[in-house]
Structure 1
Amino acid sequence: MSDDDRTLLIARHHDPAELRRATAAREIERVRRGAYRVPRAGTRDPHAHARDHLAAVHRQLDADHVFSHESAAMVWGVPLWETPSTTHVLQRSGASSRSARDIVRRRGLPERWVQREGLPITNLTRTVVDCVTTMHPLGGLVVADWALGRGLDRAEAVRLLAGRRRGVRRARLLLDLAEGQVDPPWETWLRYVAVRAGLPRPRTQLRVDTRAGRFFVDVAWQDHGVLAEFDGRIKYRDGAFGPGYDAEQALFDEKVREDAITERLGVRPLRFVARDARNPDGVARRLLARFPADVRRAARIHPLLPPPPPPSRAQSGSSRSRRQFKLPQ
């Protein structure tokens, strides 16, 4: 049993009066109807509540079921671009008129599924195909990028896609665009903005051998002399990656790296950070400005790629101490 299972409380197994008292005292909080948990303290995980919701649904459902779509992707460990607002589940029977609105039910259990963290989920290929056919294309591309870097058979995914009726054209595009040598979700976002703007397909993780060592550039159009990188600002905070992590040294090392790449290739990479997601059109304009006039004139917004949605915001838990909830023995 995982720690999450121990702190998740299903109402039908406990005294209603005690649950009401503990909720009023803020010793527990509601996850969904009939499910509660001890509040998380200090977490920065934006998907924590969604995972709690999924675990609660699993423990409340009596019928056979398998989690799918972004719910399965979350269990696989994909760093999803948007936090799921519902839990997706496959069952033998479809949704009834009284089905909960926080669950998306689909009819039919898959022949092949896997178990991770004690949860039944669709296999990796099925999960990717479900996501690229139903999610916002940026979210679907994040899933496909992540999965391709962890052994997804692209050809098998394309074959499975052949049996679908909706979203197939866009899904084929996303599977074609997917790259395994990226670090989702932010590098995926940068590439998505560029391709949506009508720029040529970039090369990812361009290797650059310099006097200071071997480095890799996130996104590159080497023929046009354009380089772009996403800069995660957290690496410039002391202790960001554990005790003793020196942010000042990281900043110095990054300056050495960037100077060496610029010296070797004759061009300084464009840098983008998380706040740039507020203005993806501005990001596209900055990229386009680096290209020759003929490329800029030919660039057209890709008709299958809508504007990217804003990313999920990390939720920091309250630092206030709370009394520990204890059920009566």
Structure 2
Amino acid sequence: MNETGIILARHHDREALRRALRDERMEKIRRGAYRGKRPASADRYRDATERATARVLAVSSQLRGAVVSHESAALLHGLRLWQLPEHVHVVQAYRASSASARDIARHRLTLGEHERTVVGAASVTSLARTVADCCLSLHPLLALVIADHARALGADLAAARESVVGRRDPRGRRRALLVLAMADAGAESAWESWLRYLVLRAGLPRPMTQLRVPTPHGEFRADLGWEQFRLLAEFDGRVKYTQGALGPRHDAGRTLFDEKRREDYLRDQRWTVVRVTASDGPATALARIGRHLPPPPDEPPHPRDLPPPPLPRGWR
């Protein structure tokens, strides 16, 4: 077992590995790579993320001279993702053979020394380079989720812009620069990035993230806010309304009661509070917010560069 916790078959007794798999003490991560069997938790997304991370670390251990890149690098950097990558992305100097593994996406790109780093035991593209690669290659919503979180973690987005502008191939450049300009450190979840993406794609006024409004019952902090229009928008997930979900002292009932008191006060002060959930879908969510804002232009400013948002895998 190496320091990543990954066991490579080429370094171990094959028969011992087969016994461990049969006894469910080990699990296969990908061809030739294993790890100790882990019990499933109540959080399926966390389990899937850990397994995807293990697969990236396995590929990094198996391939010599490869640098983990794109959304696989984002995963190792701990960035939020709209969806987990289906392939492990790496930058390699040589072409793959026809027998190469299908779960690896190889990129022949030039990396400067300042564009490489090490995360754990894996060679990975730097945070800024990772953001640039993702902005150039991914759907803009997926890239925005990554860029938002990277900005919150202090990534140098100016360096990311330089990387985008410096590419010889101009394809995707304009869209990537637009996503970088849209990035906002205030987004605290992928769904908050999604909601802001809908607003900006429609040509509505750019909101302030985490707008704070004082009330006698405590501060109300909105995911998105337009102070000049006295409009606040919240993306509501289930977590904060689930008892103990945010720690043993988290009281979901008290959270709901306190929020109601603050919202009642804000409405008395002529603020509008709009709450959106994932089940609303893009059209409904946008309509509920847009009716309280000046109408968007007949032709949104970036229709070609900001296509409709994709659904997360598994969501219908």
User: Is the shorter-chain TM-score for this pair beyond 0.5, marking a shared fold?
Assistant: yes
Find the counterpart in structure 2 of residue 82 from structure 1.
Answer: 83
Q: Which amino acid aligns with 2:37?
A: P
Find the counterpart in structure 2 of residue 284 from structure 1.
Answer: 286
- Runs of at least 5 residues in structure 2 that lack an aligned partner in the other structure: none
C-alpha contact 1:198 1:302 (8 A) present in aligned 2:
no
Q: Report percent identity of matched pairs.
A: 44
Find the counterpart in structure 2 of residue 40 from structure 1.
Answer: 38
Query: Alignment partner for residue 257 of structure 1, among 240, 262, 267?
Result: 262
Query: Does 1:244 find its partner at 2:243?
Result: no
Q: Which amino acid aligns with 1:223?
A: Q
1:264-316 alpha-carbon deviations (Å, 9 max, x no partner) = 4x12311112333xx22222222223335xx15636482211221223569xx
2:112 and 2:68 map into 1 onto residues whose CA distance is 10
1:287 and 1:181 map into 2 onto residues whose CA distance is 19
Q: Secondary structure of the equivalent of 1:227?
A: strand
State the TM-score, normalized to the length of structure 2. Answer: 0.88
Pairs within 5 Å for 1:1-329: 5-6=4-5, 8-43=6-41, 44=43, 45=46, 46-61=48-63, 63-107=64-108, 108-112=110-114, 113-164=116-167, 165=169, 166-264=171-269, 266-276=270-280, 279-292=281-294, 295=295, 298=298, 300=300, 302-311=303-312
Q: Which amino acid aligns with 2:84?
A: T
1:85 and 1:154 map into 2 onto residues whose CA distance is 26
C-alpha contact 1:186 1:230 (8 A) present in aligned 2:
yes
Q: Which amino acid aligns with 1:28?
A: M
Q: CA deviation at 1:193?
A: 1.4
C-alpha contact 2:28 2:35 (8 A) present in aligned 1:
yes
2:259 and 2:218 map into 1 onto residues whose CA distance is 12
C-alpha contact 2:212 2:222 (8 A) present in aligned 1:
yes
Q: CA deviation at 1:34?
A: 0.8
C-alpha contact 1:233 1:273 (8 A) present in aligned 2:
no
**How many residues are aligned here?**
306
C-alpha contact 1:199 1:299 (8 A) present in aligned 2:
no
Q: Secondary structure of the equivalent of 2:219?
A: strand
1:263 and 1:312 map into 2 onto residues whose CA distance is 40
Q: CA deviation at 1:128?
A: 0.7
C-alpha contact 2:202 2:296 (8 A) present in aligned 1:
no
Q: Secondary structure of the equivalent of 1:115?
A: strand
C-alpha contact 2:4 2:121 (8 A) present in aligned 1:
no
1:66-114 alpha-carbon deviations (Å, 9 max, x no partner) = 2111111111111111111111111232333222111111224542211
Q: Secondary structure of the equivalent of 2:162?
A: helix
Between 1:26-35 and 1:187-196, the stretch displaced more is 26-35
C-alpha contact 1:91 1:109 (8 A) present in aligned 2:
no
- Runs of at least 5 residues in structure 1 that lack an aligned partner in the other structure: 315-329
1:174 and 1:209 map into 2 onto residues whose CA distance is 32
1:157 and 1:19 map into 2 onto residues whose CA distance is 43
Change in Cα spacing, 1:9 to 1:156, as seen in structure 2 (3 Å) is closer
Q: Secondary structure of the equivalent of 1:29?
A: strand
Q: CA deviation at 1:250?
A: 1.6
Q: CA RMSD in A?
A: 2.4
State the TM-score, normalized to the length of structure 1. Answer: 0.84
